[in-house]
């Protein structure tokens, strides 16, 4: 059976009480299935609400994570959260190097690498996001950018760490313009080849960027895709439940 991962990145949406209402609506909208997992990345302030809802439901197919961490475990870093703090709140996963961290907040490859190491140290499962800008794509650098970002964060670590990769072309995020299933599969195959070289062939690779109810099935028909990372289309609990339920037979 092909196990698929449906990851919801809420970004800076849904506070603690919104998150509780969301889960009350989502849980009955999607019954667990052995061939799919659902991961939620709420804002850090809402992690507790989602963790409590999942715990009370007794479900094991849902994992909660945070959207970013700082690499130091604790200390005088006003406004930041760390891996150990996120784990204490019940998070089990973390997005690392999301394009908004890289391009809105100026996160460098080096910082992404430090955060990935910190996630592993805190026993959080990292979802490392890679992907090119439109300019880089037009310059034919798509595969070079993905490889550079993989090398910077993961070289030498891929085989021992439990990691998931998300390929998210920057030009497709929040724009309504998704990569074609073929385009996505081509980049996924290159990422897979890199992972094989690192002795990590089994690593899951997700696609993200304007995935929605209309295009999810077509994208997931590509066997190179092990799941999706979804922003905007995960914010409505009923629509997200329907996407997870119907995107594959």
Instruction: Give the catalytic positions in this structure.
Output: 98, 168
Q: Residue 99 or residue 203: which is nearer to ligand PGA going by CB?
A: 99
Which of 42, 131, 208, 237 touches ligand PGA by CB under 6 A? 208
> Which of residues 229, 243, 244, 247 is near ligand PGA by CB under 6 A?
229
Quote the CA–CA distance of 170 and 175 in Å, as a whole number.
9
Q: Please report whether residue 73 would count as binding ligand PGA according to CB under 6 A.
A: no
Q: What angle, rounded to 10 degrees, do the helices at 109-121 and 142-154 form? A: 40
DSSP, collapsed to helix, strand or coil, labels residue 62 as: strand
Nearest to ligand PGA of 64, 198 (CB atom): 64
Give 15 or 174: the residue with its C-beta nearer to ligand PGA: 174
Site map 174..203 versus ligand PGA, x via CB under 6 A:
x-----------------------------
The only residue of 65, 231, 237, 241 in contact with ligand PGA, by rule CB under 6 A: 231
Residue 9 in the binding site for ligand PGA (CB under 6 A): yes
Distance CA 219, CA 227 (A): 9
Q: How far is the CB of 104 from ligand PGA (least distance, A)?
A: 11
Query: CB-wise, 9 or 149, nearer to ligand PGA?
Result: 9
Q: Which of 61, 132, 168, 224 binds ligand PGA (CB under 6 A)?
A: 168
Contact 124, 92 (CB under 8 A): yes
232 binds ligand PGA (CB under 6 A): yes
- Token duo for residue 54: 């999942």
The DSSP H or E segment spanning 227 is strand 227-230
Residue 178, class by beta-carbon neighbours within 10 Å (0-12 exposed, 13-18 middle, 19+ buried)?
A: buried
Long-range contacts of 49-57 (CB under 8 A, 24+ apart): 49/16, 49/17, 49/19, 49/20, 49/23, 50/19, 50/23, 51/89, 51/90, 51/91, 52/20, 53/19, 53/20, 53/23, 53/24, 53/27, 54/23, 55/90, 57/23, 57/27
In whole angstroms, give the CA distance from residue 11 to residue 201.
Answer: 29
Q: Which stretch binds ligand PGA (CB under 6 A): 135-143, 181-189, 190-198, 209-217?
A: 209-217
* Spatial separation of the C-alpha atoms in residues 68 and 66, rounded to whole Å: 6
Residue among 230, 243, 244, 247 that touches ligand PGA (CB under 6 A): 230
Count interface residues toward ligand PGA (CB under 6 A). Answer: 13
Q: Which is nearer to ligand PGA, 20 or 212 (CB)?
A: 212
Residue numbers at the binding site for ligand PGA (CB under 6 A): 9, 168, 173-174, 208-211, 229-233
């Amino acid at each position: 059976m092909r196990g698929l991962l449906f990851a919801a990145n809420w970004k800076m949406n849904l506070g603690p009480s919104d998150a509780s209402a969301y889960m009350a609506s989502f849980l009955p909208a999607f019954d667990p299935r052995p061939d799919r997992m659902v991961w939620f990345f709420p804002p850090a302030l809402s992690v507790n609400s989602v963790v409590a809802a999942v715990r009370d439901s007794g479900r094991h197919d849902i994992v909660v994570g945070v959207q970013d961490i700082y690499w130091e475990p604790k200390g005088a870093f006003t406004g930041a959260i760390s891996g150990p703090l996120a784990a204490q709140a019940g998070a089990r996963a973390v997005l690392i190097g999301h394009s908004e961290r890289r391009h809105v907040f100026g996160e460098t490859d080096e910082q992404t690498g430090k955060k990935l190491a910190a996630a592993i140290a805190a026993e959080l499962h990292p979802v490392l996001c890679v992907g090119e800008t439109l300019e880089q794509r037009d310059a034919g650098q798509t595969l070079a950018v993905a490889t550079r970002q993989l090398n910077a964060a993961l070289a030498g670590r891929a085989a021992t760490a439990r990691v998931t990769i998300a390929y998210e072309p920057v030009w497709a995020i929040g724009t309504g313009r998704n990569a074609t299933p073929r385009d996505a599969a081509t980049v996924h195959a290159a990422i897979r080849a890199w992972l094989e070289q690192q002795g990590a062939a089994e690593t899951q690779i997700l696609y993200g960027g304007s995935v929605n109810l209309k295009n999810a099935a077509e994208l997931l028909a590509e066997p190179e895709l092990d799941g999706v990372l979804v922003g905007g289309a995960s914010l409505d609990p009923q629509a997200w439940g329907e996407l997870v339920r119907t995107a594959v037979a």
